[in-house]
Structure 1
Amino acid sequence: MRLFVAVNPPARAIQELAAASSSLRELPGAERLRWSETAGWHLTLAFLGDVPADEVPSLAGKLATVADEHPRLRLRLAGGGTFGDRVLWCGVQGETAALRRLAGAVRDALDVADDHPFHPHLTLARSRAGARGMRGMADVLKGFRGVEWEAGWIYLMRSETGSGPARYTVVERVRSQGRGELRDKR
Structure 2
Amino acid sequence: MEKRIITISREFGSGGRFIGEEVAKKLGISYYDKDIIGQIAEQSGFSPEYIRENAELSPKKGLFAYAFSGRDITGKSVEDMVYEAQRNVILKIAEKESCVIIGRNADFILKDREDVLNVFIHGDMPEKVQRICKLYNVAEADAAKMITETDKRRRTNYNFYTDQKWGMAKNYTLSLNSSQLGYERCGEIIMECVK
Fold in common (TM above 0.5) = no
More strand by share: 1
TM-score (norm 2): 0.28
